[in-house]
Structure 1
Amino acid sequence: MKLNDLALGILVFLAGIAIYLSALQFSPIPGQAYGAETMPKTIAFLSLGLGLFMIGRSLAVGMTRPGIALDNWTRSPASLGGLATAILLILVYILFSNAVGFVPMAFGVMLALMLTLRVKPVTAILVSLLAAVVIQQAFGRLLLVPLPRNAFLGFLW
């Protein structure tokens, strides 16, 4: 899928507005001049500026209508099935990760996606298991991100 600069500029501008509005809900850190909203607001302002620049440049060269062109892969049922599977797996992770835990869900999601993309089963199993554990260790232990835990596998970390 290809967007012309006017359509992309409009999307970037709207994304900047959405990021800014969501950053307004972040609470400040007591005793500091900046807080959790600082980086999102900076990204929002940069997005707004970039979006306005793209819109202005598109209008200056005579582009008056946003446009979209679909690539050839969008006509393939197998490709659309893979896209639908990826979106479905993301929804499944969102809905069930708190109950199942990060490692089993990440393993299952990655394995299902790799098998959908026709990766050899042994490779898919090994890569999914290794990636789930490495991601859990990197985010859960090093970065202290609170990932969903599984009562059965909680002893591992």
Structure 2
Amino acid sequence: MRTNDKVTGVVTAAFGAAVIYASLDLKNLPRQDYGAGTFPTVIGGLLVLFGAILLLRGLGNREEWLAWQHPVPLMHFILTLAAICASVVAYVYLTPVVGFPIVSFVLLSLLLYTFHHRRWLPSMGMALTATAIIWGVFGQLLHVPLDLGLLEKVIYS
């Protein structure tokens, strides 16, 4: 199914507004101008902004709101959903032991290979890039603790 930009824009903006509303109760840190609600509020504001842009863009065309492109086989949908759920479970259980960089790289490589490229080199390249960006933004810039697992002994020995 393909949705018009009007639908996507409204849903995105509504989700952004809900994120902003939910982050209003989060308290500021002591002696800080910002707190736990800062990051979600910024993300929510960007979702509202980009949702509004999509909505305005969608109002300019005369496409149908929803259009079926081609049917998705039920078994393909179930296998895709199962693979994503299994990846989340594997991430939760393997990350403390093996570490974020290895688990993230392996899971993203497998998912990209399976669902998108069907070639290992591009899948692994994109997985490595995504893992590095996530590590840089969350681990280094935002100081979110990401487990090193096995790499901790290698890096700190």
TM-score range for the pair, normalised by the shorter chain length:
0.5 to 0.7
Aligned-partner Cα distance in 1 for 2:104–2:137: 13
Show structure 1 runs of 5+ residues with no match: none
Matched, 1:87 2:90: no
Counterpart CA distance in 2 for 1:126 and 1:19 is 33
Query: What is aligned with 1:111?
Result: 109
**Displacement of 1:128:** 7.8
CA separation of 1:126 and 1:111: change in aligned 2, threshold 3 A: closer
Q: How many Å apart are 1:17 and its aligned residue?
A: 2.9
User: d(CA) in 2 for partners of 1:50 and 1:115?
Assistant: 30
- Higher Rg: 1
Q: Under a length normalisation based on structure 2, what TM-score does the superposition of the two structures give?
A: 0.59
Structure 2 gap segments, 5+ residues each: none
- Superposition deviation, residue 48 in structure 1: 4.6
Q: Determine the structure 2 residue equivalent to 1:17.
A: 17
AA matched with 1:111? S
Q: How high is the TM-score relative to the length of structure 1?
A: 0.59
Q: Which residue of 2 aligns with 1:44?
A: 44
Equivalent residue runs for 1:7-156 within 5 Å: 7-45=7-45, 47-48=47-48, 54=55, 67-72=65-70, 75=72, 80=77, 83-84=80-81, 87-88=84-85, 90-96=87-93, 97-116=95-114, 117-120=117-120, 123=121, 127=125, 131=129, 134=132, 138=136, 142-143=140-141, 144-150=143-149, 152-156=150-154
Root-mean-square deviation (CA, aligned residues, Å) is: 4.5
Tell me which amino acid in the other structure corresponds to 1:103: P
